[in-house]
Amino acid sequence: MKKLFFKPESLTDTDHKYCSGCGHGIVHRLVAEVIDELGIREKTIGIAPVGCAVFAYDYWNFDVTEASHGRPPAVATGIKRFLPDRVVFTYQGDGDLAAIGMAETIHAANRGENITVIFINNAIYGMTTGQMAPTSLLGMKTTTSPFGRDAKLAGYPIRVGELLATLEGTTYLARCAVDSAKHVLEAKKAIKKAFEVQLAEKGYSLVEILSQCPPNWKMSVPESLEYVRKEMMTQFPLGVIKDKTKV
Amino acid sequence: MPKIIIAQSKCKGCELCILACPKKNIRLSQKINKKGFHYVEIIDPDKCNACGLCFQVCPDVAIEIWK
Ligand SMILES: Cc1ncc(C[n+]2csc(CCOP(=O)(O)OP(=O)(O)O)c2C)c(N)n1
Ligand code: SF4
Ligand SMILES: [Mg+2]
């Protein structure tokens, strides 16, 4: 008998603290599988965010450091410039990456830092129990938009991938989801491509992953998957947003 | 015949695997684990074809499949 599907070496055996059905755990596994497949576990350094993924260093079986809220791209820049032979990636939520850390995000992308960013877009601040994020959808009810997000008051949901695509410094940008096995497999391909871009020293790569947050969306898990498909994917279409390696 | 192992203690009963299984061969157990969740179980091991779709969606990496 052969092991067909199993926990990758780049994951520890530690139980995840995430809520039932949360997308974070799926993405952790995908990153770990890609790192195993590329044979780079010994030279990878991850940067965990502030947010529900704050304990990512307990789940990944390679070097992981922690940055203060929103600062992973700045920390990644320092590590990658000092240790250019390492594979350096950040793992960030939408509050971390697109609110408090938007300046770090844009400038690291604009400088074309040779790093990879894994961006978990769940349209909400998960860890702090459901405040509006820059990516919250119009009309979305959160604890800080109890009547639904109103564009007049809070602006529009930011499409991070498309925004960064305008910067010459970015090389590979894609958007995926983890609502179904098919999309999970596509997400893995995009994550692998993003790491390959870095290994080929081709510059900045980011994979945005639409991720369900059932408790803060006040939904059952099946309802949250429908929300990803019907609402999130309408505002944030899936696919490769930019691929400079192809031109 | 494939062998599918579910780590009951890791399962949070999210049902993503139940929705993903093309054979509708996974269900919630009547029992609960130490975390307080109804964990999932295979209905008929003979019906599993080791496609791995349950593994792909499991956020807790609670599933292992051999063939
Ligand atoms: C400087 C600073 N400001 C605010 C906070 C409070 N805080 C912790 S997590 C978080 C937002 C997390 O949301 P997100 O980045 O989307 O991650 P998620 O939990 O949704 O995965 C905030 C505002 C903090 N820890 N540090
Ligand atoms: S609050 Fe949301 S993002 Fe955080 S662990 Fe729970 S489901 Fe996941
Ligand atoms: Mg979030």
**ipTM of this complex prediction, to 2 decimal places:** 0.97
pLDDT of residue B59: 98
Tokens describing residue A6: 């199993």
Per-residue pLDDT of chain A (247 residues; tens, 9 = 90+): 999 999 999 999 999 999 999 999 999 999 999 999 999 999 999 999 999 999 999 999 999 999 999 999 999 999 999 999 999 999 999 999 999 999 999 999 999 999 999 999 999 999 999 999 999 999 999 999 999 999 999 999 999 999 999 999 999 999 999 999 999 999 999 999 999 999 999 999 999 999 999 999 999 999 999 999 999 999 999 999 999 998 6
Gap between the Cα atoms of A48 and A53, Å rounded: 7
Ligand 2 centroid, distance to A221 Cα (angstroms): 12
Overall domain count for chain B:
1
Taking any CB pair shorter than 8 Å as contact, residues of chain A touching chain B are 1-7, 11, 15-16, 18-26, 29, 178, 180-181, 184-185, 221-222, 225
Closest residue in chain B to residue A16, using alpha carbons only: B60
Instruction: State whether the beta carbon of A95 lies less than 6 angstroms from ligand 1.
Output: yes
CA A47 to centroid of ligand 1, rounded, Å: 15
Total CB pairs under 8 A between chain A and B: 73
Owning domain of residue B29: 3-66
Closest CA to A241 of A175, A157, A192: A175
CA–centroid distance for A85 within its chain: 23
Task: Give CATH superfamily name and number for A24-246.
Answer: Thiamin diphosphate (ThDP)-binding fold, Pyr/PP domains (3.40.50.970)
Structural element, H or E, at residue A81: helix A72-82
Looking at residue B24, which CATH number applies to its domain? Answer: 3.30.70.20
Tokens of A51: 């947010």
CA atoms within 13 A on the CB side of A246: 7
Chain A: residue nearest B39 by CA? A20
Ligand 1, atom 3, residue with closest C-alpha = A69
- pLDDT tens string A41-74: 999 999 999 999 999 999 999 999 999 999 999 9
Which residue in chain B has the smallest CA separation from A21? B14
Q: Which of A1, A10, A20, A225 to mutate to test the interface with B (most CBs of B within 10 A)?
A: A20
Q: Which of A5, A24, A221 has its CB closest to that of B16?
A: A221
- Kindly report the pTM of this predicted structure: 0.98
Neighbours of A94 (CB within 10 A): 26
Q: How far is A227 from chain B (nearest CA, A)?
A: 14
A213 Cβ inside 6 Å of ligand 2? yes
Ion ligand 3 residue ranges (Cβ < 5 Å): A 93-94, 122, 126
Residue ranges of domains in chain A: 24-246
* Contact list, A25 vs chain B (CB under 8 Å): 58-61
**Do B37 and A158 contact (CB within 8 A), yes or no?**
no
- pLDDT tens profile B8-66: 999 999 999 999 999 999 999 999 999 999 999 999 999 999 999 999 999 999 999 99
